């Protein structure tokens, strides 16, 4: 016996990484429902990053949510505060559009991303007064501290997946970020690692589908079959 599934409309906003486009992750719209059919009910939004000069690229322009000054990206890397703030504002506009045009409540919206996109997703969720459904950070990193985290967001659950061989956003970023977020009071963090470099693993996609289904649609697990 199981609880009644939550059928209210829901959405996933997912941000791509540096140098990528929305097409790089748009397959999630088909991949995730193939693992969990309930996720076919999601509205999927893949916003494009602006094209900006990137310091580690010699100042040449490419799609990026904010500038990068260090490579690889390890704990203690320099921070483009202005760029990240603009990125968070752009995601806020996506959220407002979903609310107005689709009638989706903010507490039914998951914000996630890969690499740079994951870093922005963390800020968009945990520096906001809003209580979103969940946050997903795949191979991203933490770029803020307790001074700018909103305590009201501490109850928003987080999935953090990371490749254990990541040589771009170093694997050390996961433990550092997860430990810091727990210190800041984030109540639920599902952190897992996968034997890949800076990319996604099939098991990670399965874990993502399970996480989204549980947070948005399933409610309690079946007590008996």
Whether residue 175 is contained in a domain is answered as yes
CA-CA distance, 111 to 119, in Å (whole number)? 11
Q: Is 118 left (phi over 0), alpha (psi -120 to 50) or beta?
A: alpha
Q: What is the pLDDT of residue 25?
A: 97
Question: Residue 190 falls within a domain, yes or no?
Answer: yes
pLDDT confidence of residue 5: 56
For residues 69-88, average pLDDT: 96
pTM, 2 dp = 0.94
223 within some domain? no
* Cα-to-chain-centroid distance, residue 37: 21
Residue 64 falls within a domain, yes or no? yes
Does residue 220 lie within any of the structural domains?
no
Q: What is the CATH number for 131? A: 3.40.50.1820
Amino acid 7: pLDDT: 80
In the set 38, 67, 115, 162, the catalytic residue is 115
Write down the pLDDT at residue 219.
62
What's the mean pLDDT in 209-213? 98
Which string of DSSP letters, residue by residue, matches 89-155? HHHHHHHHHIIIII---GGGEEEEEETHHHHHHHHHHHTSSS--SEEEEES------TTT--GGGTT
Question: Residue 198 pLDDT more than 70?
Answer: yes
What is the span of the domain harbouring residue 190? 10-214
Query: What is the predicted pLDDT for the residue at 221?
Result: 40
Handedness of CA 90, 152, 135, 144 (dihedral sign): positive
Residue 166 pLDDT greater than 60, yes or no: yes
| Residue 192 annotated in active site | no
pLDDT in tens, 84-130: 999 999 999 999 999 999 999 999 999 999 999 999 999 999 999 99
Question: Does some domain include residue 5?
Answer: no
How many domains does the chain contain in total? Answer: 1
Instruction: Judge whether 179 counts as a catalytic residue.
Output: no
Instruction: Please state, in angstroms and as integers, the Cα–Cα distance from residue 138 to each residue in 41, 111, 152, 154, 191, following that order.
Output: 22, 11, 23, 19, 10
How high does pLDDT run on average in the chain? Answer: 94
pLDDT mean over 129-156: 96
The predicted model gives 169-181 an average pLDDT of 98
Could you tell me if residue 149 is inside a domain? Answer: yes
Name the active-site residue from 67, 80, 166, 213: 166
> Which is the catalytic residue, given 16, 162, 198, 201?
198
Mark whether 16 is an active-site residue.
no
* Distance from C-alpha of 138 to C-alpha of 55, rounded to nearest angstrom: 23
Q: What is the mean pLDDT of residues 16-20?
A: 97
Question: What residues pair up with 62 in beta bridges, in sequence order?
Answer: 52
Work out the angle between the directed axes of helices 202-213 and 28-35 (0-180°, nearest 10): 70
Region 193-216 average pLDDT: 97
């Amino acid at each position: 016996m199981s609880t009644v599934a939550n059928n209210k409309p829901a959405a996933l906003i997912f941000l791509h990484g540096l140098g990528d486009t929305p097409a790089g992750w748009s397959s999630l719209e088909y991949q995730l429902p193939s693992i969990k059919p309930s996720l076919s009910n999601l509205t999927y939004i893949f916003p494009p990053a602006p094209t900006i000069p990137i310091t580690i690229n010699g100042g040449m322009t490419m799609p990026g949510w904010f500038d990068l000054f260090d490579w690889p990206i390890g704990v203690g890397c320099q921070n483009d505060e202005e760029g990240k703030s603009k990125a968070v504002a752009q995601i806020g506009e996506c959220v407002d559009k979903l609310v107005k045009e689709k009638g989706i409540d903010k507490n039914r919206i998951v914000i996630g991303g890969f690499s740079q996109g994951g870093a922005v997703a963390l800020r968009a969720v945990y520096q906001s007064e809003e209580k979103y459904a969940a946050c997903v950070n795949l191979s991203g990193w933490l770029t803020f501290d307790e001074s700018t985290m909103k305590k009201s967001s501490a109850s928003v659950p987080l999935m953090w997946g990371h490749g254990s061989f990541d040589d771009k956003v170093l694997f050390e970023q996961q433990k550092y970020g997860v430990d810091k977020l727990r210190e800041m009071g984030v109540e639920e963090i599902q952190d897992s690692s996968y034997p890949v470099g800076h990319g996604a693993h099939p098991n990670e996609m399965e874990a993502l589908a399970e996480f989204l289904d549980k947070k948005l649609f399933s409610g309690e697990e079946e007590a008996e079959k």
